[in-house]
Amino acid sequence: MSSDPCSFSSFTRCVTRHLNVSFHVDFVRHVIRGTVALTVEALEDRFSALTLDTRDLKVVSVNANGQAAQFNMGAKHSFKGTPLEVTLPFDLSRGQHFILEVTYETSPGASALQWLTPEQTAGKKHPYLFSQCQAHHCRSMIPCQDSPSVKHTYYAQVSVPKDLVAVMSAVRDGQEVDPQDPSRIIYRFRQTVPMPSYLIAIVVGDLESREIGPRSRVWSEKEYVDKAAFEFSETETMLKTAEDLAGPYVWGPYDILVLPPSFPYGGMENPCLTFATPTLLAGDKSLSNVIAHEISHSWTGNLVTNKTWEHFWLNEGHTVYLERMIGRCMEGEQFRQFEAIGGWKMLQDSVNTFGANSPLTNLVPSLDEVNPDDAFSSVPYEKGFALLYHLEELMGGPEVFMGFVKSYIQMFAYSSVTTEEWKNYLFTYFKDKVDILKKVDWNAWMFTPGMPPVKPVYDTTMAEACIALSQKWLKANETELGKFSKSDLKSLSSPQVIEFLSLLLQEDPLPLTHVKKMQEVYDLNSYMNSEIRFRWLRLCVRSKWEEAVPLALKMATDQGRMKFTRPLFREVFNFDKFKDEAVRTFLAHRPAMHPVTAGLVAKDLKVDVPLSTSL
């Protein structure tokens, strides 16, 4: 069987080289009717059977090189879906290719897809569809070898109603009226760089675009498009900086698509077309580090990919490292240090949420019978970054260690890697410093739960004002609350206000009098920057300010970014008086939520009744 605990597909015996997909997007039934032709290479002699991953797919027919092939749907697994077992009408030798064509239909409840009604969009006139395949959801959209260890190119044609636009994680390759139905248009896409299935992405909606650079456009509904063009205007500078650090950008265009508010992540690094949450549109470019992060994935993640989700830190730790190196080039080393301080707090938060003994806080967790969505947290990002920063200090500083990261990218480009392969290459690259590397407690870093064994010492210059102000609030008694004034925050940048609130969230809840005074002098309720608002509302709910509860629940449901939605629901749920209110609000909004977000919030709030989706 395969060595990917999250996939049924037989990728040790055969490997997909190319996908050719044809989609007919049906907004009435909330399904995609699809045909996929997989170009598959046999990896052994007398090869005559294979298994693909599927989830909630209705498979109509399977052909191999044009001949009907027998197929069988195996037993359904809770999160892995259903194996599609195919017997070929012929044998192949190692190295031979064949084309396997599967005709099928997705389910209205497909976990990769969210179908939005016109009311759920900004424009309110047209429906909208978007996909989110990472980690293991592509199989609910396309029958495939749904493992990050398999990389292939793809070509797609997508038929949609003519007043809508389709875009994908590929280079656009023209459009034409659908010859079968003049009320529809077929959009075509070509992806010539081999990539894993989780990076296949599609959006269909009433989209517009604006040019923001020589190889970049921003796409969104027209209500967001100008705001997004302003917010992400530094994209080309970030791309050039990343190329200087990591080598040439190989994907052609780098476009950004701003999704409707229910998109569950901050960003998703779909090739040629980064997906971004509208919660990044702060109006002051202060949250564009998420774009630096997604740009960095063009090298670490998309070009060099984790072989299984157990090695997810290879994607995310290196990407955070590269993102902060871009920040260092653009804003200076003190800015990178400041960002690292914030990251350490996010790691502490995740460890507190999971529990310091949870195996999911290991840098390299075992995911045997674990749903990768349940394992998702800032651990692979920030514990991964902390390890790389620790190694940077041991090996001779940022320039020296960035040399390794660049060499690692060149060495493993277009392939998938494990932690063991990464570590072996680290020892090879720094062969003259092996004695230092051997002193690293690798077992504590990789396979031990909780916080890392070494806490890096970061430069606190940019954090000092935040630390001083937070300490002032923590130490103030009732009589000293008069000494705070509006000017306290005016001298802080948006990232510093975020840090100030993060520091307070690490301590015991403030007295209610303090948060009420904070609102009176700083008017934090009026801040629309999502990262500031999120932390402020958590602080208020923790201090049992009842008036903040409806504001927290409103933010948890007005958008669906899991980074915000899950903790906000948890905070209200933990406020005993409003526990039932949290559950009621969730159940009322659940039908409009993204399926992954809804499933995880249900677990957080201990609501176990699954939302049934009729086929």
Question: What is the token pair recorded at 269?
Answer: 């690094």
* Two structure tokens written together for 176: 């034409």
Task: Tell me, yes or no, if 429 is annotated catalytic.
Answer: no
Q: How far apart, in whole angstroms, are the C-alpha atoms of residue 466 and residue 468?
A: 5
Q: Which of 154, 170, 130, 374 is nearest to 276 (CA)?
A: 130
Neighbours of 342 (CB within 10 A): 20
Q: How far apart are CA 357 and CA 347, in angstroms?
A: 14
Selecting among 381, 408, 458, 522, the annotated active-site residue is 381
Choose the catalytic residue: 231, 294, 316, 339: 294
CB-CB contact of 186 with 178 (8 Å): yes
Nearest to 1 by CA among 90, 102, 83: 83
* Token pair of 532 as six digits: 């500031």
Active site residue 527: no
- Sequence-distant (≥ 6) Cβ neighbours of residue 340 within 8 angstroms: 324, 385, 389, 456, 458
Which residues, 6+ apart, have CB-to-CB distance to 154 below 8 Å? 18, 19, 20, 21, 170, 189, 190, 191, 195, 200
Closest CA to 538 of 511, 504, 562, 513: 504
Instruction: State which amino acid sits at residue 497.
Output: V
The DSSP H or E segment spanning 496 is: helix 494-505
Q: At which residue do the structure tokens 């007005």 appear?
A: 558
Return the closest-CA partner of residue 289 out of 352, 359, 241: 241
Catalytic residues: 294, 381
